[in-house]
Amino acid sequence: MTRIHTGHGAAGLTRFASDVDALVHDNSDEHRLTALVADRLRALLASEVTLPPEFTQPHTDHYVVYPLHVATDGSFSIVSAVWDVGQTTPVHGHETWGVVGIYAGVEHETRYVKPAAPDIPLVATVEHEWHRGQVTICCTTDDDVHRVDCAGETPCVGVHVYGADVGTLPRRWYEPDTGRQHWFISGWATPPANRRSASSARGPEW
């Protein structure tokens, strides 16, 4: 396994990554796997794990996705996703399974029916507000379209686990009114302490 993050709080994340690694390689059913990963993530957040400050910093222009851990075989990644106040994502999918836990702030999520074909207007199904310590299965391959907004008065920080190296995975975003689909690769953001300048931070490549 490749450990991206070291420092304060790393021990809990390392144990969590080892647990997820075992689960990923022992379970082929996404629905069972995501339920098990959700249990582990809920316990991690309840343990009051501390993310390093540089992995919780928002960007002024767009939300950012920091890699906390990426498995060497690309079978999963653990992510710190950060939205500043007022920031949102396009309607998008992940092309894999994912589990999300809220580390700080409030996340507003709108889910949509995954269209069976291109160019069909999307149908919103449900909205949720997720708060610190709460965990949700955000997607499986067959149920994978949503939009996320920062809903509080402070930045929203989530710990996300995906069934791939999500920073390099080709994914889709959607024009909800028409159903038109576009492919993108989000890339990985660079923590502020490691940036040469604020402009060097990679954001989602919509």
Any domain includes 115? yes
Per the structure, how many domains does the chain have? 1
Q: Where are the alpha helices (DSSP H) in the chain?
A: 10-26, 30-46
State how far Cα 118 lies from the chain centre.
Answer: 24
Residue 205 lies in a domain: no
φ/ψ bin of 92: left (φ > 0), alpha (ψ from -120 to 50), beta (otherwise): beta
- pLDDT for position 1: 42
| CATH code of 32's domain | 2.60.120.10
How confident is the model at residue 196, as a pLDDT? 46
Q: Decide if 169 is inside a domain.
A: yes
Whole-structure pTM value: 0.91
Q: Is residue 78 part of a domain?
A: yes
Q: Along the 206 residues of the chain, how does pLDDT read in single tens digits?
A: 454 554 555 678 999 999 999 999 999 999 999 999 999 999 999 998 999 899 999 999 999 999 999 999 999 999 999 999 999 999 999 999 999 999 999 999 999 999 999 999 999 999 999 999 999 999 999 999 999 999 999 999 999 999 999 999 999 999 999 999 999 999 999 988 665 433 334 444 43
Query: How far, in Å, CA of 162 to CA of 168, rounded?
Result: 12
The residues with which 19 forms a beta bridge, in sequence order, are: none
Residue 20 belongs to some domain of the structure: yes
Residue 73 lies in a domain: yes
Q: Which two structure tokens, joined as six digits, stand for 75?
A: 């079978």
Give the domain extent around 185.
Answer: 2-189
